[in-house]
Amino acid sequence: MMIRPTTDQDVDVFVETLHAAFGRFPETPADDGGGVWWSALEMDRGLLAVAADGRPVGTAGAYSFELTLPGGMVVPAAGVTAVGVMPSHRRQGVLRAMMRHQLGELRARGDFLSVLLASEAPIYRRFGYGPATYTGRLTVPRHQAALVLPRAGGTADGSATGSDSGCVEVLRRTECVGILEEVYDRYRRAQPGALSRPHRWWALGAGQPPVSPAPRYVAVHRDADGVPDGYASYSLGESGTLTVDETIATDDSVFTALARFVLGHDLVTQVVFRHVPPEHPLRWQFVDFRAGQASNHTDWLWVRLLDVPRALTARGWFTDGELVLDVDDPFLGEHGRYVLTVRDNKAHCVPTDRDPDLSLDVSDLGSIYLGGTTPSTLVRAGRIRDHRPGAAALADRLFHAGRPPHCLHWF
Ligand SMILES: CC(C)(COP(=O)(O)OP(=O)(O)OC[C@H]1O[C@@H](n2cnc3c(N)ncnc32)[C@H](O)[C@@H]1OP(=O)(O)O)[C@@H](O)C(=O)NCCC(=O)NCCS
């Protein structure tokens, strides 16, 4: 078996091999190549595993994304995708070989972070990835949908949750792709854990609704000056269930206005909000606290650090402190001990031979990196070892993200 890079000429064999790995048949692409998720594949970043008899048996790809870190820093991140091995060639080390090859290539390009969505949770931890953001669904029966009025004076940061001076307009997805792209881009730059959606994704309709051209109505919110600052893409099913694919808002009051809009839609028995972050304020905005029924809570973005000091110094930090981290990377056969020093919101991270405060696997460092899981949770789970009293509590304060990370981009 050998692994080789792909080019644009390989797109058919790549897509067919990948679909066979998933046991599916590819849909027929539109004449312009748009409307199917794989039209945005970056074939110059793909890998094909080829058996000794010349048959393709495995695929892996990577997208060139940007990831927003705690503190609002926007950095490049490889979005690992299209991973599949033919059913006839499974559990023979094909994926392991592709992962080794890919991680080497990512490092050679200068990437210091890679991310992915896992089809099954047991697959990727062995390769150094840890679950880092979470998402879920909120189902709201229409008769319980009343929202509380905001307390006069607004929120501490000056945003007036619920007091909306803007308006909502209903458009078809086809009419407003440019608006969606622009609003999503503003939103993702301020949201830790969010990924960019490169222009060609929107242009080609590559992804899930509302990126894909599936028929959708979109409630577009505009501010008092008429500038779009949020949207909710939705569809109404026969049973009276209104499903919101995603609610994108550049601030909380816009989210509330969009929620109020879909919850007030006629001929609806319940509203399902997909992709709501676990700690989202929406649940607290119902008069009836049990109105928002949470389900489908799941991991979303998995993060892998390819260069620990670079990754740690790239994100924003909010509390001063110093920690010695002993980091194991068994897949790459590496081990490093680093002193992380945060002063005035900036981190320095250099190798050290001091005694460690915490010992952890690189996959667990990926899980705490964006602030979506606290180090003390992983200490309590037995995944991270703390070597002195107070080390986990200090790590909790240091790794805190300010705003919880969330990602809803599917790739
Ligand atoms: C997941 C998949 C790519 C694994 O490929 P593979 O070539 O069989 O994996 P490998 O033989 O290299 O396995 C490497 C290790 O991962 C483990 N592993 C692989 N897939 C696993 C799974 N689905 N669940 C649990 N463990 C898995 C193997 O047991 C092996 O463990 P070991 O190192 O302890 O021996 C393949 O089963 C597949 O294509 N599945 C369907 C499509 C899919 O889910 N793709 C992933 C998209 S995110």
CATH code assigned at 348? 3.30.1050.10
User: Best mutation site among 91, 114, 127, 304 for ligand 1, i.e. most ligand atoms within 8 A of its Cβ?
Assistant: 91
Distance CA 82, CA 64 (A): 14
Strands 217-222, 228-236: pairing kind: antiparallel
Domain annotation covers residue 65: yes
Residues 287 and 146 sit within 8 Å (Cβ to Cβ): yes
9 and 96 together in one domain: yes
249 and 328 together in one domain: no
User: Best mutation site among 1, 47, 85 for ligand 1, i.e. most ligand atoms within 8 A of its Cβ?
Assistant: 85
> Which of 96, 111, 126 marks a domain boundary?
111
286 and 142 together in one domain: yes
> Which of 278, 297, 316 marks a domain boundary?
297
267 and 332 together in one domain: no
Domain annotation covers residue 410: no
97 and 217 together in one domain: no
Distance CA 86, CA 378 (A): 35
315 and 183 together in one domain: no
266 and 286 together in one domain: yes
Domain annotation covers residue 190: yes
Distance CA 50, CA 2 (A): 5
Distance from Cα 94 to the centre of ligand 1, integer Å? 8
Domain annotation covers residue 13: yes
Domain annotation covers residue 280: yes
Structure tokens at 201: 């994704």
Q: Whose CA is nearest to atom 21 of ligand 1?
A: 123
287 and 316 together in one domain: no
Q: Provide the number of structural domains found in the chain.
A: 3
Residue 260 CB–ligand 1 contact under 6 Å: no
Domain annotation covers residue 116: no
Helix, strand, coil shares of the chain, percent, nearest 5, are 30, 30, 40
Q: How does the average pLDDT of the chain come out, rounded? A: 96
Structural domain boundaries, residue 268:
135-297
Distance CA 86, CA 109 (A): 28
98 and 162 together in one domain: no
Domain annotation covers residue 407: no
139 and 285 together in one domain: yes
CATH number, domain with residue 13 = 3.40.630.30
291 and 321 together in one domain: no
The tens digit of pLDDT for each residue in 34-80 reads 899 999 999 999 999 999 999 999 999 999 999 999 999 999 999 99
Domain annotation covers residue 198: yes
180 and 256 together in one domain: yes
> Which of 78, 111, 144 marks a domain boundary?
111
| pLDDT tens, residue order, the chain (411 aa) | 999 999 999 999 999 999 999 999 998 888 888 899 999 999 999 999 999 999 999 999 999 999 999 999 999 999 999 999 999 999 999 999 999 999 999 999 999 999 999 999 999 999 999 999 999 999 999 999 999 988 776 555 444 454 688 999 999 999 999 999 999 999 999 999 999 999 999 999 999 999 999 999 999 999 999 999 999 999 999 999 999 999 999 999 999 999 999 999 999 999 999 999 998 999 999 999 999 999 999 999 999 999 999 999 999 999 999 999 999 999 999 999 999 999 999 999 999 999 999 999 999 999 999 999 999 999 999 999 999 999 999 999 999 998 999 999 999
Q: Whose CA is nearest to atom 4 of ligand 1?
A: 95
